[in-house]
Amino acid sequence: MTTRLTDNGGTAAVEVRGLVKHYGSTKALDGVDLEVRQGTVLGVLGPNGAGKTTLVRVLSTLIRPDAGTARVAGYDVLQQPRQLRRVIGLTGQYASVDEKLSGRENLYMIGRLLDLPRKDARARADELLERFSLTEAARRPAMQYSGGMRRRLDLAASMIGRPAVLYLDEPTTGLDPRTRNEVWEEVQRMVAEGATVLLTTQYMEEAEQLAHELTVVDRGRVIAEGKVAELKAKVGGRTLRIRPADPGEAAAMAEAIGQAGLDGVAGAHVDSAEGLVSVPILSDEQLTAVVGLLGGRGFGIAHIDTHLPSLDEVFLALTGRQPAPEEPTDEAARPSRGGQPAGPDRAEPNNEKNVEVAV
C-alpha cells in the first residue's frame, strides 16, 4: 500500500508529480510536485485561489488533471480511482452533510455507503458523535447545527471508514477558537493513530500547530517547502511586541535593542500609532534576551506578546509581494460552510501566538 522511500527516509503516502489543471486561462495547478510522508501532516498553505481545493479534488478523484501524476497509498488517481477512494477521507471546504438528516443519520448513511454492516455503521456513528461532542445533538437535523457543529460532523463523516489518508481542506476557516482547538486535537489524535493528513490552510498558526512539513502554494505553483521551523526562519520567525510602561520611552527602547547587538536580533522598530516596539525574533532565547536587556537598562514594560507572521507577511518575505487578489468566480460565490462568507477572507483571527504575558 505504500510507495517509494522519500529523500528523508519516510514512506510517501501521497506523491504528486507535475500536476497541471487549467480552467480556461486560469492555471489552478501549474506543475505541482509534493509528497506527504506516511503518518505525518503536510500543510499546504496558500491564499485564496492558490489552487488548494483543486489539488484536493484531483487527489480525491473528483476532477481529472490535465497533466501529471498522483499516487495515494500506492494507488494512481487516474488508473485506480475506486481503490483510491476506499482509503481516503475528505473534509471539504464546503460542508457535505445532508441538512435534513440528523447528525447520527448522516454518519450512519455514510457508514452504509462504505459497506459497513448496519450494526457496525450504528456503532461507528455513535463512537464518532461522542468523540466530536455531538452526542446530545445527534438526533437533531443538521440544519439546526451551528457552523462549528457542522464542521465537526463533517470531520466525523470523513473518518467513518478509518481512512489511511485524510484530506482536510481549510478545516477551521471561520471557526471560533474553542472549536478550532477541538478540531486540531482531533486531527492530532488521528495522526497519533497512524493517519496521514494533507491539510490546506490560510493560517500560519494552524500550519505550525499541526503540520510536520509545509508546502506554500501561489497561483498553482509551489513557491516554498520545508519544515515549519525552516520556513519560519526564512520569513523571520515571530515578532515580539513590547508595550513600554511609559509610552514616551518607546524610541529609547528600540534604540537600546538596536545597539545592544544581541545574537541574531537585527533591531527593533517603533509603531508610533500603537505605542509598541516590535522586534523580529527567531527563538525564545532571543525573547528572553531582549526582555532581560530592557529590564537591565531600567525600562518599565507594561505588556509583551509574540505574533506569528501572517500569510501576507509570509508571502511578502518569500516572493517580495502581497498575494494576488483573486478574480471573483463561480467558486468564490458558492456558499461556504456554517454561513461564513466564501469570498476572500484573510482576516487572521488566530494569528496571535499563545505566548502572552502581562508584566
**Contact set with ligand ATP (CB under 6 A):** 23, 26, 28, 46, 48-54, 93, 202, 326, 329, 331
What φ, ψ does residue 176 adopt, rounded to 5°?
-75, 165
With beta carbons less than 8 A apart as the criterion, state whether 85 and 79 touch.
Answer: no
Q: Given the complex with ligand ATP, which of 169 and 313 has the nearer CB atom?
A: 169
Among 61, 91, 93, 286, binds Mg ion (CB under 5 A): 93
Q: Which CB atom, from 255 or from 326, has the smaller least distance to ligand ATP?
A: 326
Closest CA to 228 of 248, 253, 210, 255: 210
Q: At what angle do helices 147-159 and 177-192 cross, to 10 degrees?
A: 10
Binning the chain into helix, strand and coil, the percentages to the nearest 5 are 35, 30, 35
> Closest CB to Mg ion among 21 and 52?
52
> Residue 28 or residue 224: which is nearer to Mg ion going by CB?
28
Residues in a beta bridge with 215: 44, 225
**Rounded to the nearest 5°, which phi and psi values hold at 23?**
-115, 100
* Alpha helix positions (H), 6-102: 52-59, 81-87
Q: Give all strands of the β-sheet with 41-45 in edge-to-edge order.
A: 88-91, 165-169, 196-201, 41-45, 213-218, 221-227
Is residue 201 part of the contact set for Mg ion (CB under 5 A)? no
Specify the 3-state DSSP secondary structure of 293.
helix
CB atoms within 10 A of CB 78: 15
Smallest distance, Mg ion to C-beta of residue 249, A: 46
Residues 109/73, Cβ–Cβ less than 8 Å = no
Contact window for Mg ion (CB under 5 A) among 62-70, 86-94, 286-294, 296-304:
86-94
Q: Is 59 or 107 the residue whose CB approaches ligand ATP more closely?
A: 59
CB 298 to Mg ion: min, Å? 51
Instruction: Residue 85: name its binding partner from ligand ATP, Mg ion, none (Cβ under 5 to 8 Å by kind).
Output: none
- What gap in Å lies between CA 6 and CA 51, rounded to an integer? 24
Number of residues interacting with Mg ion: please give it, by CB under 5 A: 3
Given the rule CB under 5 A, which of 47-55, 68-76, 245-253, 311-319 is the region that contacts Mg ion?
A: 47-55
CA gap 282, 168 in Å, rounded: 29
Name which of ligand ATP, Mg ion, none residue 331 binds, using a CB cut-off of 5 to 8 Å depending on partner kind.
Answer: ligand ATP
Q: Cell numbers for 28, please give them.
A: 489552478
Q: Is 10 or 46 the residue whose CB approaches ligand ATP more closely? A: 46
Joined grid coordinates for residue 262? 544581541
**CB of 216 within 8 A of CB of 222?**
yes
Asked if 48 touches Mg ion (CB under 5 A), the answer is: no
Instruction: Output the smallest distance, CB 169 to Mg ion, in A.
Output: 6
If contact means CB under 5 to 8 A according to the sort of partner, which of ligand ATP, Mg ion, none does residue 150 touch? none
Q: How far apart are CA 280 and CA 287, in angstroms?
A: 9
Residue 48 contact, options Mg ion, ligand ATP, none, Cβ 5-8 Å cut-off depending on partner type = ligand ATP
Q: Which is nearer to ligand ATP, 28 or 262 (CB)?
A: 28
Question: In the bound complex, what is the minimum distance in angstroms from residue 181's beta carbon to ligand ATP?
Answer: 22
* Smallest separation, CB 148 to ligand ATP (Å): 19
Report the nearest approach of ligand ATP to the CB of residue 25 (Å): 10
Nearer to ligand ATP, 114 or 223 (CB): 223
Q: Rule CB under 5 A: is residue 53 a binding residue for Mg ion?
A: yes
- Out of ligand ATP, Mg ion, none, what residue 50 binds, judged by CB under 5 to 8 A for its kind, is ligand ATP
If you ran DSSP here, which 8-state letter would residue 2 be given?
-
Give the binding site for Mg ion (CB under 5 A).
52-53, 93
